[in-house]
Every structure is written in structure tokens, then in C-alpha cells.
């Protein structure tokens, strides 16, 4: 088990996420988000969830981030995102307190079981689950994706169509 | 035996950082990035807790559906941001104060 690689990916994701909090330019925040999402994909791969690894890269790094960068290009002339200065300090204190609370709650938690070694091939099992016991959420997700696609196209259209 | 809870620590950290980003940032697209961070935290936790049930894959299936919903949320959110930008000429949520009665006095 490559424990060191896992911890390295976790540190990378954590540093990139905290960097989003402090960086000024919006496009730099998008790049840091890309680093964070790819690190999470690496964590998925190390945990033996290879279907989620591929979906994370294709959907997040390939889809959502391109969408966000297109949005940045269209909307932000100066592409600066100033931080809410009066709200930043109390919110940071609140976030830190929330984090400490979760950590202290987790310390009473029993440790996660070690990852079972061996050939891990979860993609065929996920495929079978998608068409057997998860077929209703699968079809609902298809409808949701279609509705979101058509709805976002209509909302973002220059002139709403006359009915 | 090594304590393997650091995955859960990373999930907690991503959740808190995403929450602070959503509250403090003044650009709507960065707010959407914070929401994506929080959804990723939930995905990490789901995959980590999936190890409690070695034969089943319910956690991974649930995080797959979380990814699907996150994509829909990002698409609709960007569309709304574009529409708001065309109408108000700004992408800052704090500037959308047309419904305020006396915006200049109360702001």
C-alpha cells in the first residue's frame, strides 16, 4: 500500500484548496481548483475506485473546469476577486472552529479499516449495479442531466424564446 | 497500526475551506468553485467510508451520483451567472441590490 503517495496527494489537495482562499486572480483560483480536483482523482485511484478516478478527471477536470474558465473569460473584465474584508476574519474563525470541531469528533472515531490488497476491479461491478439495483437512480440522473442541459441553454440564451 | 483517518481529515478541511470561500469571496464564479470543493469533500468521505463494506459498492455509487448532480449544478449556475452578468453588468452577488428599496442608504 503506497501510504506515502496517498499522503502526498492529500497534502497537495489541501494546499491547493487553501490557496484558492487567498489568491486574488480568478483564473489562478481556477488553476488551483484544477490541481485540487486532480489530486482528489489520484486519491480515488489509490483507494481502488478506478471508475470514480476516470469520472473525476473526465467530468470535473474536463467538463466543470472548462465551463468555469469559459465563465471567467466571459464575465470578468479585470478578473479580480477581492475578498470580503470585513467578513473574512470572523468567517475564517468560524471555519477554523468548525474544522477543529470535526477533527475532535473524528478523534473518538474508530480507525478506518486498511485497504484490502489484491486485484481491485470495481468498474465491472459498478456497471452491473447501474443496470440492476441502481437502474432507477440511473435513469433519473439521465433525465436530470437532460433537463439541466436544456435549462442552462435556455437560461443563458441571449433572447428567451417567445412562447 | 497506523491511524488511517487522514482521509476524513482531508474531507473536513475541504468542507471548511469551501464554506469559507462561499461566504467570503465576492465573485460568483469563485463561489461556485467553493461549492465544488464541498461536493468533493463529500465524495472523499463516501469513498473512504466505502471501505467499511468491502463487498458492496454503495458509497462509490452514491459519490457517482454526487458527481452527476455537481455537473448539473455547475452548468445551471454558470448559466445564471452569465444571465445576471448580461443584465446587471457585474458578476458580484453583493451588487445585485435592485430589489432593495433604498440601496444607497442601506448599503
Q: Domain map of chain B by residue range?
A: 27-93
Distance between CA B35 and CA B38 in Å, rounded?
A: 5
Contact B27 A26 (CB under 8 A): yes
Residues of chain B neighbouring A153 (CB-CB closer than 8 A): 79
- Res A114: pLDDT: 66
Please state, in angstroms and rounded to a whole number, the distance separating the CA atoms of residues A13 and A17: 6
Rounded to the nearest 5 degrees, what angle is found at the Cα of A73, between the Cα atoms of A71 and A74?
A: 65
> By percentage, how much of chain A surpasses pLDDT 90?
45
Looking at CA atoms only, how far is residue B81 from chain A in angstroms? 8
Closest partner residue to B78 (CB to CB) among A17, A67, A76 is: A67
* Size of the A and B interface in Cβ pairs below 8 Å: 213
Nearest to B16 by CA among A91, A12, A61: A91
A127 touches chain B (CB under 8 A): no
Which of A52-61, A114-123, A140-149 shows the lowest mean pLDDT across its residues? A114-123
Fold of B27-93: Helix Hairpins (1.10.287)
Among B48, B71, B79, beta carbon nearest to A63: B71
**Cβ contact (<8 Å) for B27 and A81?**
yes
Is the pLDDT assigned to residue A112 strictly greater than 60?
yes
Whether A1 has a pLDDT exceeding 60, the answer reads no
Minimal-distance CA residue of chain A relative to B78: A71
Interface contact B69-A144, CB threshold 8 A: yes
How many whole angstroms separate alpha carbon A17 and alpha carbon A30? Answer: 11
A56 contacts chain B (CB < 8 A) = yes
The set of cell numbers assigned to A161 is: 424564446
Query: In this structure, what C-alpha cell is assigned to residue B42?
Result: 463529500
User: Grid coordinates representing B97?
Assistant: 441590490
| A50 Cβ under 8 Å from any chain B Cβ | no
pLDDT digits (tens, 9 = 90+) for A33-66: 999 999 999 999 988 888 999 999 999 888 899 9
DSSP bridge partners of B25: A83
Tell me the shortest Cα–Cα distance from A162 to chain B, in angstroms: 17
B20 vs A21: CB contact, 8 Å cut-off? yes
Query: Which residues in chain B have Cβ-Cβ distances shorter than 8 Å to A26?
Result: 27, 29-30
Task: For chain B, say whether A70 makes contact (Cβ under 8 Å).
Answer: yes
ipTM summary value: 0.86
Tens digit of each residue's pLDDT, chain B (107 residues): 345 678 889 999 999 999 999 988 888 889 999 999 999 999 999 998 887 777 778 888 999 999 999 999 999 999 998 888 888 877 777 777 777 766 555 54
- β partners of residue B19: none
Residue with cell 454558470: B78
With contacts defined as CB-CB under 8 Å, which chain A residues touch B52? Answer: 112-113
Distance CA B6, CA A156 (A): 41
Do residues A39 and A9 lie in contact, with contact meaning Cβ atoms separated by under 8 Å?
Answer: yes
* Closest-CA residue to A114 (of B49, B51, B50): B51
Amino acid at each position: 500500500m503506497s501510504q506515502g503517495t496517498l499522503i502526498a496527494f492529500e497534502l497537495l489537495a489541501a494546499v491547493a484548496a487553501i490557496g484558492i482562499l487567498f489568491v486574488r486572480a480568478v483564473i489562478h483560483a481556477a488553476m488551483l481548483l484544477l490541481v485540487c480536483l486532480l489530486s482528489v482523482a489520484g486519491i480515488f485511484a489509490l483507494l481502488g475506485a478506478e471508475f470514480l478516478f476516470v469520472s473525476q478527471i473526465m467530468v470535473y477536470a474536463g467538463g466543470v473546469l472548462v465551463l468555469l474558465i469559459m465563465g471567467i473569460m466571459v464575465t470578468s473584465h479585470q478578473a479580480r476577486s477581492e475578498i470580503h474584508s470585513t467578513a473574512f476574519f470572523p468567517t475564517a474563525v468560524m471555519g477554523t472552529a468548525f474544522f477543529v470541531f470535526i477533527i475532535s469528533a473524528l478523534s473518538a472515531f474508530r480507525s478506518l479499516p486498511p485497504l484490502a490488497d489484491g486485484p481491485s476491479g470495481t468498474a465491472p461491478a459498478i456497471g452491473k449495479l447501474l443496470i440492476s439495483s441502481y437502474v432507477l437512480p440511473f435513469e433519473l440522473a439521465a433525465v436530470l442531466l437532460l433537463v439541466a442541459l436544456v435549462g442552462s441553454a435556455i437560461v443563458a440564451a441571449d433572447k428567451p424564446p417567445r412562447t | 497500526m497506523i491511524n488511517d483517518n487522514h482521509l476524513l481529515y482531508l474531507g473536513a478541511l475541504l468542507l471548511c475551506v469551501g464554506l469559507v470561500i462561499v461566504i467570503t469571496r465576492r465573485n460568483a464564479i469563485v463561489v461556485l468553485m467553493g461549492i465544488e470543493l464541498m461536493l468533493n469533500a463529500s465524495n472523499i468521505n463516501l469513498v473512504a467510508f466505502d471501505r467499511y463494506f468491502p463487498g458492496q459498492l454503495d458509497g462509490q455509487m452514491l459519490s457517482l451520483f454526487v458527481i452527476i448532480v455537481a455537473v448539473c449544478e455547475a452548468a445551471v449556475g454558470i448559466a445564471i451567472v452569465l444571465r445576471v452578468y448580461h443584465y446587471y453588468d457585474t458578476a458580484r452577488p453583493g451588487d445585485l441590490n435592485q430589489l432593495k428599496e433604498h440601496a444607497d442608504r442601506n448599503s
